[in-house]
């Protein structure tokens, strides 16, 4: 079971990093409207992760569906509204990115395509933030609840002030990762200065909104002070925060690889801190019931074959992804 959980965390981390860079490209583009020449560069930067990032989202879904079916069923029931909206955002974003690129008469509809591409790039991470925050709070029990209003059952659990702060956090984190990746793609000094400013600005918003999430969670009782002051959580967030010093130094010296590695490490520690706050619970309910990694996993034989299948798939997929990135690097050296 622990091996399956590790696979889940790896897939989630990979999607957060690569999907974050992907969605962040649209977020970053929306902040660079005065620099239209950078739009093409953003598209080039998105190219390799655009092709492959949802492999990891599919992996997360498959692992939950097969390895933790009770969690999958409850999430798809209680959170179907934000999940459906996030899926809609993914579809619209992909569609209008493609239309903008390949429409035979792009100038006629380019503004419309660009608007919807940017809007869906912003909207989808906001939904992710709302979903993440909702997992910290207890969900109503549908069959045993006196509440019958649709909004109370399926909207109120995730549409909260804490969810709003979490949404801003995810939005700014994705923008930060995208800005870090884009910095290495531009060569002009003035362009690098602009992107460097975005790196620091997005991190500042990420830091502030992350603090608001923790403070609001503790103040409202959604996150206990024991969870908020969890040593692993504090260490992870301290390392992620202190990483900005290394990022600033690397930014000044234009050490591209160091910047990207730092962003990846920060993302890993942020996810690790969130996981340590949740551990070992996936979801809580108002009747006191909890779905944990210990009481909701599939039978051992199912986990065995799932783990074996994941090992085989990774052995096939990772070399192909490496080749994909190599091809794009050969055409667009970084």
Give the domain ranges of the chain. 2-308
Token representation of residue 318? 């990772």
> Distance (Å, rounded) from C-alpha 12 to C-alpha 261?
17
Q: What is the mean pLDDT of the chain?
A: 87
| Helix locations, 279-332, DSSP H | 300-331
Encode pLDDT of 292-314 as tens digits: 999 999 999 999 999 999 999 99
What's the confidence (pLDDT) of residue 276? 84
> Distance (Å, rounded) from C-alpha 308 to C-alpha 304?
6
Strands 281-285 and 290-292: antiparallel
Q: Which of 86, 80, 116 is closest to 100 using CA atoms?
A: 116
- The answer on pLDDT for 249 being more than 80 is yes
CA–chain centroid gap for 123, Å, is 12
Phi then psi for residue 281, to 5 deg, are -95, 135
What's the confidence (pLDDT) of residue 148? 65
Give residue 119's pLDDT band: very low, low, confident or very high (50, 70, 90): very high
Is-cis flag, bond preceding 27, omega within 30? no
* Residue 4, Cβ density class (10 Å: 0-12 exposed, 13-18 middle, ≥19 buried): buried
Written as one string, the DSSP assignment of 215-234 is HHHHHHTSS-HHHHT-HHHH
End-to-end CA, the chain: 39
What is the average per-residue pLDDT within 209-231?
A: 81
């Amino acid at each position: 079971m622990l091996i399956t959980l590790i696979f889940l965390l790896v897939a989630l981390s990979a999607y957060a990093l690569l999907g974050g860079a992907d969605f962040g490209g649209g977020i970053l583009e929306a902040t660079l409207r005065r620099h239209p020449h950078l739009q093409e560069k953003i598209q080039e930067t998105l190219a390799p992760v655009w092709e492959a990032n949802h492999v990891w989202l599919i992996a997360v879904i498959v692992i939950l569906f097969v390895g933790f079916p009770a969690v999958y069923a409850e999430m798809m029931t209680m959170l179907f509204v934000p999940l459906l909206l996030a899926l809609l955002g993914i579809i619209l974003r992909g569609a209008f990115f493609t239309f903008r690129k390949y429409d035979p008469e792009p100038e006629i509809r380019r503004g419309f395509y660009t608007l919807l591409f940017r809007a869906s790039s912003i909207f989808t991470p906001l939904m992710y933030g709302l979903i993440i925050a909702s997992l910290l709070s207890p969900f109503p029990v549908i069959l045993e609840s006196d509440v019958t209003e649709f909004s109370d059952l399926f909207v109120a659990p995730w549409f909260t002030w804490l969810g709003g702060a979490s949404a801003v956090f995810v939005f700014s984190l994705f923008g930060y990762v995208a800005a870090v990746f884009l910095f290495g793609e531009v060569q002009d000094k003035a362009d690098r200065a602009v992107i460097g400013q975005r790196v620091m600005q997005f991190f500042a918003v990420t830091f502030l909104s992350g603090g608001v999430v923790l403070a609001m969670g503790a103040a409202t009782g959604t996150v206990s002070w024991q969870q908020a002051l969890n040593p692993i959580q504090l260490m992870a967030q301290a390392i992620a925060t202190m990483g900005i010093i290394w990022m600033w130094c690397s930014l000044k010296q234009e050490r591209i690889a160091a910047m990207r590695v730092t962003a990846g490490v920060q993302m890993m520690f942020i996810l690790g801190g969130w996981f340590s706050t949740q551990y070992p619970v996936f979801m809580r309910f108002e009747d006191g019931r909890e779905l944990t990694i210990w009481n909701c996993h599939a039978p051992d034989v199912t986990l065995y074959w799932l783990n074996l299948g994941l090992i085989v798939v990774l052995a096939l997929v990772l070399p192909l992804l490496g080749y994909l990135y190599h091809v794009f690097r050969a055409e667009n050296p970084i």
